[in-house]
Each structure stands twice: as structure tokens, then as C-alpha cells.
Amino acid sequence: MAGFDKVVGSYAEAMAGLEDGMTVIAGGFGLCGIPENLIAEIKRKGTRDLTIVSNNCGVDGFGLGILLEDRQIKKMVSSYVGENALFEQQLLAGELEVELTPQGTLAEKMRAGGAGIPAFYTATGYGTPVGEGKEVREFNGRPYILEESIRGDFAIVKAWKGDRYGNLVYRHTAQNFNPMAATAGKITVVEIEQLVEPGELEPSQIHTPGIYVDRVIVGSFEKRIEQRTVRSAN
């Protein structure tokens, strides 16, 4: 199935076409399930003035945080950016713009973007700064605000297992924003831990059907833990 073989051989190839000023949607929650090597490739490329749509912005020195070091990010669209001293510094210095978006609204904006729904109503954020300037409308006597969907020039995604066709399965809570991000990129690039043969993934257990995916690369991952909490074994 030559036309459906989406595996690329290098990270340079995986991120080919990314240009200054583009919008990149990234999967991951905190440092869990982030496309860490695709992010590193963006740093290596030195692409600038990026708008990054991601629930968080990594930490100092890991994840999206490394794109702050050379000031590659112009704007973040996120629900929470509090884990990152460099972020704070650039924000206060006016070098970085941030559009804070409620977590559920952010997830739904990505899904809607991928699903051809340009806008939807939600009660989330009504009466708060998030609702300012947005249309308010009542349904069944309750006010809702209008939120528009998000699409990206690129989406960067981390999955567990994948096949050449781009069918993907995520592992545990590393799923998070990845499935929605995968649908919302004009070019969707996925890095996976394990390449399997087409047919190995049970069709009805595939989280992301390959139709959403343009490029697949097999990577190895550090998977840094942000809050290491353990209990004693007994």
C-alpha cells in the first residue's frame, strides 16, 4: 500500500515545511504524552514566531519549554502555563503573548477544528474574562458563549503504537490532547514508540484512524516525570 506508507526516516523530514509564523497544535498534558523529539526538532530548525496551541508549555529545559530559550514562540494558547520560570519572564517582559483558554474548551476547539465545526456554544467561561467580547446566547434559559474552533498548519502528536497507515493507539493517560490534536493539523506528524504491521491493531480499538495522519516517525523517549509521587509498597 505504497500510497498509504506514511513512515518517514528522519525528524528533519518529519517537520519539513514548518515555517516562521505558523500555528502548531501539540498533544500532551504537562510532560505526559508530549511529542518530545518533534519539539526538539523545531528547536533545532530554529523556526520562529510560532503560535503554539498546547494545554501547557512544558517546563524549563524540557518539552515546549525549550522553544522559549531561543524565543521561538510568539504566542501560546493554553489552559495552564505555571510550571515554567522562563515563560513567566518572557511574558512579563512582553516578549510572549498568551491566550488562556479553559482546558475543556481548548480540547473541544481542537476537536471541532478537525471535525469541520467552525464554532460551538459552551457555558464554560460565561461571566468571566474568558467570555469578554464573545457572543452570549441563551438555550433553555441558560447563557452560553460562542467559541470558535482551532486548526493548525501542523499538529505534532505522540502515540504509543502505530502502523504505516498512521493508525494510532495511545498508552494510559498519555492519550490526553493527542487524539484531538491529530485531527486538527493541515499536516499531522506523529512520533510513536513502536511500529506495528497494518492489521496488528484491532480495528475497533484504534484511537486515531490513519486518515488524520500525514507522517509517522519512530522515536525513543525520555518521558520525564513532572511530579514523582510514590507510596511505600506495603
Partner 1 sequence: MSLSREQLAMRVARELQDGYYVNLGIGIPTLVANYVPEGMNVMLQSENGLLGMGPFPTEQQLDADMINAGKQTVTAVQGASIFSSAESFAMIRGGHVDLTVLGAFEVDVHGNIASWMIPGKLIKGMGGAMDLVAGADNIVVTMTHASKHGESKLLPQCSLPLTGAGCIKKVVTDLAYVEIADGKFWLKERAPGISVDEIVAKTAGELVVPEVVPEMEF
Per CB under 8 A, residues contacting its own copies are 108, 112, 115-123, 137, 139-140, 142, 144, 148, 169-172, 175, 203-205, 207
3-state secondary structure of 228: coil
- The contacts of residue 233 (CB under 8 Å, 6+ apart) are none
DSSP, residue by residue, 15-35: TTT--TT-EEEE--BTTBT--
What letter represents residue 167's amino acid? N
Number of residues that bind partner 1 (CB under 8 A): 82
H or E, element range at 14: helix 11-14
In the complex, what is the shortest distance from the CB of residue 5 to its own copies, in angstroms, rounded to a whole number?
Answer: 26
Reading phi first (left if > 0) and then psi (alpha if -120 to 50, else beta), residue 65 is in alpha
Based on the shown chain and the rule CB under 8 A, indicate whether residue 104 belongs to the binding site for partner 1: yes
In the complex, what is the shortest distance from the CB of residue 135 to partner 1, in angstroms, rounded to a whole number?
Answer: 16
* For partner 1, the closer CB: 72 or 178: 178
In the complex, what is the shortest distance from the CB of residue 46 to partner 1, in angstroms, rounded to a whole number?
Answer: 27
In the complex, what is the shortest distance from the CB of residue 121 to its own copies, in angstroms, rounded to a whole number?
Answer: 5
Restricted to residues 35-94, the positions that interact with partner 1 (CB under 8 A) are 55, 78-83, 88, 91-92
